[in-house]
Chains A and B, each alone.
Chain A
């Protein structure tokens, strides 16, 4: 049997992306990188627009500008590679257009609460009737069943709810400076759970496409971010099942490795991590840092004594690291074969030789109207030798592809498109909004949102 050639895994696959905010839009962007045609269903009515268009920024030079809804860096990162159609789903005609679009598509992504999709008649049973082999991801905080099904959710509040805080937190310190296991939970932050949901959705869509190719059947994926988050902490939950252990908060220390921690380096808020796995790492570590007497100090002779005297050991190591840069610490220790690395911030990452050498950041040329010019974006954690997976275009402007999608793809007549326009069901200019206020960077430093800033950032050479 001859098969058509496919340069990309998802060539010929069409995705309708109804989703908002982080998790599912990001899933859509990855599917676009893999070759799918991903149609972002936008709206030009501010109260229903994807809030990453309006609330997240960051804007070029902290200036939202007139077309601010096209200019947010986080929005751009999450929505690259898509095309955009605006449809105000309060209009019956727009809803009908959406159903027509679904009928010629393979995948739908959405993250409305269960009652919203039912109200619009866009729940899986309804959409399945227009596209019988549809693959649909419904992403919610708690899923479409269970006692918490109607609870709303945001990743930042979900993260401790699904348990990360049981397994991370600073050590407690007593009045004499002695440390013990932490009692206060902490957070990974950065909307951690959104990304777990995004990876999970990508995998579920891909295996469902394989399943559909073999059986002709579609799939409904009921993705509960709470449950997904718990599945990533399964070993901790299973420890409770076997041993009744509820939590383990060790700061930056480790059950068996010692020393193991995060140490201050030269400069403002600069840090390096070090993990000594065993006695052979310990000897290499002592030789590399050259602190006299350390290798023969009986307090640190074996893993058990090192573990028991970690407060003293951390003091000695901090003394060594604090007069060096974080990259020097990495180089000295990695040359000795000891696991170590700098704690990189956003500026460091964009300049780091490893990320640059591997081409992790891809340049994107933006539409001149946006004033964004050419910028680099983070990409994905894997390369495929036989597929040219990459960012093909920037995030779409609001309704940028209305004509192509409504007329060329769906074959709507000009008069029907004019009716949609007259009813304000489609549009390309955000309505009902004001230019967001931007907080000056000096004030952001005061508030602790920003550690520091460089005014010469566009021209800084890589370190």
Chain B
């Protein structure tokens, strides 16, 4: 595309990504989308554990077909390396010579010796080392075992998700590790900017539970301002700002925004809603159950998308529950060029969701599909580090690559 003479913001930044599953790969993907040269380092044999996680393209379990892996690793190059071997640690050292950032998500008690933070800081003072873990590098829970449901529970977010008459509900699709990944990218970028002036790198300790806990800007002051424990969605209420059934699915009717109650009532289309008693916030609390029934009646006449459209045209802010098919076909997202067609030699072709924001002059492209296991070994070890083919053969024999 024309008009991008200045390249991408992180052009020239080299990132080594030594981590698996979601958090470190998502951090790496965000940096890669902004132009960084991200080299993904995977253990030889099975590679990143996300490669073995379903769902798979065509529901066919295969190391190159994990959908989570395909989504999180576009725009990266990939090598295999066993950093636990002496030869592998040596090769990592050579890669670090030219790296600006190392992103890793080893559990603190399983971090390989070559990633000792003090030794790294001494040998590579310019290097930014970003470590992402469930609980951080310090504190009593540091070495606890965790999956997404555990980090979401301890972060406090889960207590507030779901309905108050049922158990707290797990959030969608590994959200805790996505939130940790983007927070890691934020702190890493802050350190990169600071380094432009100081020339020095630093170590960044990212705690997944703390990243998610930072969402609780209501629940925490609820307690330390007035001793109250905020709970989940109340079961009884008017139904506004909550998921409610419409004719073909669920919608969120809303009274937010600057329009008067009469506009809201008129849209829903039940004449009894045009009642002064319902026009104020306190009235909608007092007469919640009455409103709830009228709302159900009115929404039963609406399809989700028609209601969303009509709400937007009236400057109301109703929402609707969309599924993956709705989003994939969404005309609004297509007009904003959210999707990019990516062709992968094993998984095949598909339209991939792209970047969240649009930046003027940043031409977001999927420059590379997610790397095949060890795809760039000879390009990076041979062409760039200058290893001879004999050396590469020996590394392979030692199990290092």
Contacts and interface: CB of A to CB of B under 8 A. Distances in A.
Given A186-B169, A237-B327, A453-B226, 20 more contacts: A3-B198, A58-B218, A61-B225, A157-B317, A163-B327, A168-B170, A219-B9, A219-B359, A235-B71, A240-B325, A240-B328, A243-B59, A262-B149, A346-B229, A348-B156, A378-B216, A385-B203, A448-B236, A448-B237, A449-B231
A181 interface: no
Given A357-B139, A448-B235, A350 B225 contact: no
Contact of B229 (A203, A353, A357, A452): A452
Contacts of A220: 359-360
A156 interface: yes
B214 interface: yes
B70 interface: yes
Contacts of A273: 149-150, 152-153, 158, 170
A67 interface: no
Given A243-B57, A257-B147, A203 B172 contact: no
B171 A188 contact: yes
A161 B217 CA distance: 22
A245 B250 CA distance: 18
Q: How large is the interface on B (under 10, 10 to 19, 20 to 34, 35 or more residues)?
A: 35 or more
Interface residues of B, dominant DSSP:
mixed
A411 to B, nearest CB: 28
Contacts, number: 555
A238 to B, nearest CB: 5
Contacts of B228: 58, 62, 441, 444, 450, 452-453
In the A-B complex, the 9 residue pairs with the smallest Cβ-Cβ separation, listed nearest first, are A73-B221, A448-B234, A157-B319, A381-B211, A457-B227, A151-B312, A386-B202, A167-B172, A228-B356
A383 B188 CA distance: 11
Interface string A372-390: 0001111111111111000
Contacts of B256: 154, 156-157
Interface string B289-312: 000000000000000000010011
B51 to A, nearest CB: 13
Contacts of B362: 219
Contacts of A454: 227
Contact of A207 (B10, B160, B196, B206): B10
A222 B204 CA distance: 28
Given A237-B328, A380-B210, A164 B171 contact: yes
A176 B174 CA distance: 31
B41 to A, nearest CB: 22
Interface in A125-150: 141-143, 145-148, 150
Contacts of B178: 232
Interface in A251-291: 251-252, 254-257, 260, 262-264, 269, 271-273, 275, 277
Contacts of B214: 195, 378-381
A238 B71 contact: yes
Given A170-B169, A382-B204, A451-B231, A154 B353 contact: no
Contacts of B216: 190, 346, 349, 378
15 contacts: A148-B332, A163-B322, A163-B323, A168-B171, A188-B175, A233-B173, A263-B167, A273-B152, A340-B145, A341-B151, A378-B214, A382-B211, A384-B203, A386-B202, A452-B229
Nearest to B196: A213
Interface stretch (B81-89, B262-270, B333-341, B389-397): B333-341
Contacts of B210: 355, 358, 360, 379-382
A252 to B, nearest CB: 5
Nearest to B65: A242
B312 A246 contact: no
A223 interface: yes
Contacts of A230: 327, 333, 338, 353, 356
B162 interface: yes
Nearest to A6: B197
Interface residues of A, number: 173
B150 A242 contact: no
A contact patch SS: mixed
Residue among B67, B135, B183, B236 with the highest chain A CB neighbour number at 10 A: B67
B327 to A, nearest CB: 5
B186 A203 contact: yes
A14 B231 CA distance: 38
Contacts of A376: 224
A343 interface: yes
Contact of B140 (A4, A143, A354): A354
Contacts of A174: none
B212 interface: yes
Contacts of A214: 6
A159 B319 contact: yes
A161 B234 CA distance: 21
A355 B335 CA distance: 44
Nearest to A58: B225
Contacts of B162: 170, 186
